[in-house]
């Protein structure tokens, strides 16, 4: 109980710092690592104005890994309300070709998923984000309990998960030591996929590290190398 209370207090304090709206345009650059080797680089551009938001995320292989050409672009856009970001559109393009797309219809509580040549309409539950907007939701979201439900979509399906606030952590980066809040997906038995996000408390709770574990156990780590603000 004391640990849960501590996590909740950490989150309340961190999100209180995010109460002031962040700058209208933010650019974040990341180094993408596989083990100790940097295999790629990423760039996110987050913009918001008049209750609307847009995130454009790009990542590509570099160095020796560039021989395996991978250029991924993702875009999420929608509105901002009291619960944070509410996506209305998501798209993923790989090596110049559209791979997946999602149209969110909150009035009908439906999402239309495009995955290659397959299209289907599914129920759209509360607390649903696409894989790009989720990390930025904490910049605007109201405080959550230490363990909270999340629905995520990448265009193939909408999956329900639970996430936990693990507490504060110091993160060493190229832009210095950052005080962060560590958020981690709760893995159910048999679930090998992992996702963790570190939110910088002095940078509007922006995602400064994203760690993904695939079903094969491979780990990809994206760690911030630069943040630029524009009004």
Q: What is the pLDDT along the chain (231 residues), one digit of tens a residue?
A: 333 223 333 443 444 444 467 999 999 999 999 888 888 999 999 999 999 999 999 999 887 676 567 899 999 999 999 889 999 999 999 999 999 999 999 999 999 999 988 899 999 999 899 989 999 999 998 767 788 889 999 999 999 999 999 999 999 999 999 999 999 999 888 888 889 999 999 999 999 999 999 888 888 899 999 999 998
Enumerate residues 6+ apart whose C-beta is below 8 A from 137.
Answer: 84, 85, 129
CATH number reported for the structural domain that contains residue 183 in this entry: 2.50.20
Q: For the chain, what is the domain count?
A: 1
Task: State which H helix or E strand residue 137 sits in.
Answer: helix 134-137
Q: Give CA angle at 116 (110, 122), nearest 5°.
A: 15
What residue numbers bound the domain in which 225 lies? 2-230
Supply the pTM of this predicted model. 0.85
Task: State which H helix or E strand residue 41 sits in.
Answer: strand 37-49
**CA–CA gap between residue 93 and residue 26 (Å, rounded):** 22
């Amino acid at each position: 109980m004391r640990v849960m209370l501590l996590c909740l207090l950490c989150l309340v304090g961190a999100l209180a710092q995010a109460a002031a709206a962040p700058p209208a345009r933010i650019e974040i650059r990341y180094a993408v690592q596989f083990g100790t080797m940097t295999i790629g680089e990423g760039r996110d551009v987050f913009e918001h104005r008049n209750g609307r938001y847009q995130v454009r995320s790009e990542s590509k292989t570099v160095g020796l890994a560039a021989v395996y050409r991978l250029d991924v672009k993702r875009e999420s856009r929608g509105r901002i309300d009291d619960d944070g970001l509410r996506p209305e559109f998501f798209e993923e393009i790989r090596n110049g070709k559209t791979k997946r797309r999602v149209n969110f219809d909150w009035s009908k509580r439906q999402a239309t998923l495009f995955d290659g040549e397959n299209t289907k309409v599914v129920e759209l539950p509360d607390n649903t984000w696409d894989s790009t907007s989720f990390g930025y939701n904490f910049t605007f979201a109201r405080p959550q309990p230490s363990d909270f439900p999340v629905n995520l979509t990448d265009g193939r399906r909408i999956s329900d998960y639970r996430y936990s606030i693990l507490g504060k952590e110091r993160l060493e980066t190229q832009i210095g030591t950052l005080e962060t809040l560590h958020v981690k997906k709760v893995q159910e038995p048999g679930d090998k996929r992992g996702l963790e996000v570190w939110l910088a408390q002095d940078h509007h709770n922006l995602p400064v590290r994203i760690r993904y574990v695939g079903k094969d156990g491979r780990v990809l780590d994206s760690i911030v190398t630069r943040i630029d603000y524009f009004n």
